[in-house]
Amino acid sequence: MTKPQNLTQLVEQNKKVQQELDSLKKEYQYLADRHDALFKLNSLLSECKDIHDFYFQVHNVVASLMVAYNFYIVLYDQTFEELEFVYHVDEYDKTPIGKIPFENFNGSLTNYVIRSGKALLATPERLAELKQQDEISNVGSDSIDWLGVPLIDDGYIVGVIAVQSYTESTRYQQDDLDMLNFAAQHIVSALTYVQDTERLQKAVSARTTELMEQIREREKSELLQESLFRISELASESTVDLDHFYSQVHNIVGQLINASNFFVAKYQKESDTLSFLYFVDQLSENEVQDFKPRKMSNHYTELVIRSGKEVLLDRDKMYALYQQNVTSKPQGNSRSWLGVPLKIDDQIIGAMVIQSYQSDVLYTESDSELLNFVAQHVANAIKRRESIDYERRTHELLEEQVQIRTQALEEEIKQRKQAESLLKHSAAHDALTGLPNRTVFIDLVDHAIACQKRRNDMQFAVLFLDLDRFKVVNDSLGHHAGDLLLKIIAKELKYIIREKDTVARLGGDEFVILIEDLDDHDEAYEIAQRITEMLERPFDIEKQPVFIGASIGVLFSDDRYASADIMLRDADTAMYHAKDKGKGRFEVFDASMHQKVQNALTLETDMREAIDRSEFLPYFQPIVNLDNEAVVGFEALARWQSDKRGFVYPSEFISLAEETGLVMQIDLQILEKCCKQLQTWKSLGSASGLYVSCNLYCNHFFNPTLPDEILKITEAYGIEPTQIRLEITERALLENNHIVLANMNALQQLGFKILLDDFGTGYSSLSYLHRFPIDVLKIDRSFITNLQEHESNRAIIKTIIDLATNLQMATVGEGIEHEQEAKLLQRMDCNYGQGFYFAKPMSADDVIKTLELT
């Protein structure tokens, strides 16, 4: 019995040994798999060059270590507090797209790992514990186990790598967490390497491209020199046939630029037409039809001629001009368009144009410069040819002179009679519209007043009409379009009024209407309403819809009126009342309107007296350094301490001051008082090293003596130019800019700093920032208000600050009312701040108290 028992024990022992051996093999295989996975992870440093492929390979490596069906890598930008899911694979959740504010993931496990900086194995028990502690809330689909570790680079958390399980069959353990944590550090190293490699490759590629471009530019320069010499030779040959000249120019230009589609257009100013002297177009099926002479319209060639400048367009710019109603809809095949003006003695005589129908042929600024040069030679050739033609025509004209003079003598008597008739008509009528003029209308109204005094039942009304947007038409389309519009409106008004009524033009865009024999006021209201509705419709001016509108003042006859001039005055007042109420309407005159005009006149009189009595004084709002909130200076804001009206705020007088021009005297009075106050503070030992920033109305900068005037004021009080800063608005930079530029340069050379106020709210052209000597940009309060809620505002402000930094300008944020706005601006590298959060505008005495407290 003993032997079998020993045999049984031996079998059992062998089985046990075999089990242990199998277990050791599995453990060995497990360790070998992990070793292989980590080795592959390290090898990504040299094998994986594309960042997106790198993330995919990382997923494969992690999946070889553990179950990782649901896996993502999210990067964290600490500066802008944003998350970006650069890799995401999940059975239930969709991939978040783009950069997402970090705060959107408040309560998530990803947020918890980033905030804590520690790895997390979130089992159901651990999840319940974190929820009870309010550390997390439900974000995304519920999982069974969630495993996440931070990606740490040089002590900073740059992201999170995570896996998660939605089934009980897949559970994660502590060694999975340790493994993922260890792998994360290799991932950061590999990620840094891949990103550095990608940047290095881009730098090498950019330098290689630059060197190749230099070689091509040198070759192109040699070809350009030769080609321009050939063009000059052609232009110098007075006997050259003009058609042959254009063909040769086309051939030469084609060697430098892709000029498969090329034409030269001539502008006839007298007839306002375009004719095409030479044209070649690949896609034109009927060139004769496509390039026949035409009236000036809204094509790109007309844009070149009207602007007098080169026009370089790609497909997007073509559609942008079309959507702005500047040009017609672009051709379906046009991809790039370049046109330059032909000039003779600064007079535009035509345009030279090339265009491309191929997406891989797009013109550049260098092409524009080349074509501009060629255009000068073409213009000279046209001028010589026209001189020859002129001599020929002159000779022909001399032969016809006798015959013409004979006919002229026969016509002279007839024309003199017509002239006499025309002079009589012109004396009583407007030359442009043919309507009665002011003199005739005054006589008619005086006659109506006289009739009404004799017969009380002969009531009448006067309508005073002013076009609302006529200046816009003149400025955008030109005076020719404005004159055409006035003619059309005059014709329409004659259709609307009754046969016994009279419409006249006073001048400019002002019309008056006399409505006689009124039975009741409704008749006048009906005519005013019909005029309003007529002017609401668009007018077709030079193939472009124009919206105009009008404001109408209505005045009814009354026994108190003794003259037409007084009636026109009150009708004009009612018209301005209609314009103030929103335009495009009519208002009936009443006594309160006259009182409003009187109030404005009284306010103007009081302002003039206040200037003489030096009643305007500065209030000072501190400007602080956003890094430490130390006061560095003040903005001087005008206030009026009136003997008659008491304390008057700017909103009550500034607009009228600007309208009347009194604001310029107020500005200088404020500047002088600021200098005097600086002198006082200096004697008291206060405000040492601080400056005062004074606002100057734009018209100051149109005065060539401005620098001398300002220097004279500061020197009178012993104030250094560095203690005074001058604020200018964008409008000044867009008008009379040669005078403005000279003044700004002179002021800067004297030591005054120039601030551009309310930047971003006006035209905001980047060009003037390069051309004008500006030291500081003041970011308008409209961008800073609700800064936390508007991401677009943050982007705009960041762009302005970066632009200012690149141009070596400082920045001041205006209208800061909350701490969060100040902190965010400070993080964006804005230098200075100003607003109610720091201090409201204060008197000079309060400034001393504030400085003593600090």
**Distances from the Cα of 231 to the Cαs of 226, 372, 409, 814, 816, in angstroms?**
9, 13, 50, 57, 61
The two structure tokens encoding residue 566: 């007084």
Q: Is the per-residue pLDDT at 763 higher than 50?
A: no
pLDDT for 764 beyond 60: no
pLDDT tens for each residue of 377-395: 778 777 776 676 567 677 7
pLDDT tens for residues 231-255? Answer: 666 666 656 677 787 888 888 888 8
pLDDT at 678: 93
Q: Model confidence at 838, in pLDDT bands (50, 70, 90)?
A: very high
Q: Please give the CATH number for the structural domain made up of 430-589.
A: 3.30.70.270
Query: What's the pLDDT at 352?
Result: 92
Q: Is the pLDDT of residue 743 over 90?
A: yes
Give the strand pairing for 586-588 and 810-813. Answer: unpaired
Query: What residue segments make up the domains of the chain, in order of their start?
Result: 14-199, 238-392, 430-589, 602-853
Question: What's the pLDDT tens digit per position in 104-135?
Answer: 888 889 999 999 889 999 888 888 888 888 88
pLDDT at 441 over 80: yes
Amino acid 578: pLDDT? 85
**Res. 636: pLDDT tops 80:** yes
Does residue 480 carry a pLDDT above 60? Answer: yes
Name the nearest CA neighbour of 532 among 584, 489, 588, 463.
Answer: 584
Query: Which two three-digit tokens encode residue 337?
Result: 């368009």
CATH 3.30.2130.10 fits 238-392, yes or no: no
* Range 602-853 has CATH code 3.20.20.450: yes
Domain range 14-199, CATH architecture: 2-Layer Sandwich (3.30)
Q: What is the pLDDT of residues 127-166, one digit of tens each?
A: 888 888 888 886 666 788 999 999 998 888 999 999 999 8
DSSP string, 469-525: SHHHHHHHH-HHHHHHHHHHHHHHHHHHS-TT-EEEEEETTEEEEEEEEESSHHHHH
pLDDT digits (tens, 9 = 90+) for 2-24: 444 567 777 777 777 776 666 66
DSSP 38: H
For residue 375, the one-letter residue type is A
CA nearest neighbour of 788 among 77, 159, 105, 103: 103
Closest CA to 148 of 61, 62, 57, 41: 62
Q: Comparing 343-352, 418-427, 710-719, which segment has the lowest mean pLDDT?
A: 418-427
User: What pLDDT is recorded for position 139?
Assistant: 61
CA angle 687, 688, 694 (to 5 degrees): 55
**CA 315/CA 325 separation, integer angstroms:** 16
The one-character DSSP state at 835 is S
Per-residue pLDDT band at 692 (split at 50, 70, 90): very high
pLDDT at residue 389 in the model: 59
> Strands 70-77 and 82-89: what pairing?
antiparallel
Indicate if 430-589 has the same CATH topology as 238-392.
no
Distance CA 772, CA 810 (A): 15
Residues 358-367 as b/e (b if ≥16 CB within 10 A, e otherwise) read eeeeebeeeb
How many CB atoms are located within 10 Å of the residue 176 CB?
19
Helix (H) and strand (E) counts in the chain: 26, 28
How much is the pLDDT for 781?
Answer: 87
**Residues contacting residue 340 through CB under 8 Å, at least 6 positions apart:** 304, 310, 311, 351, 352, 353, 368, 371, 372, 375
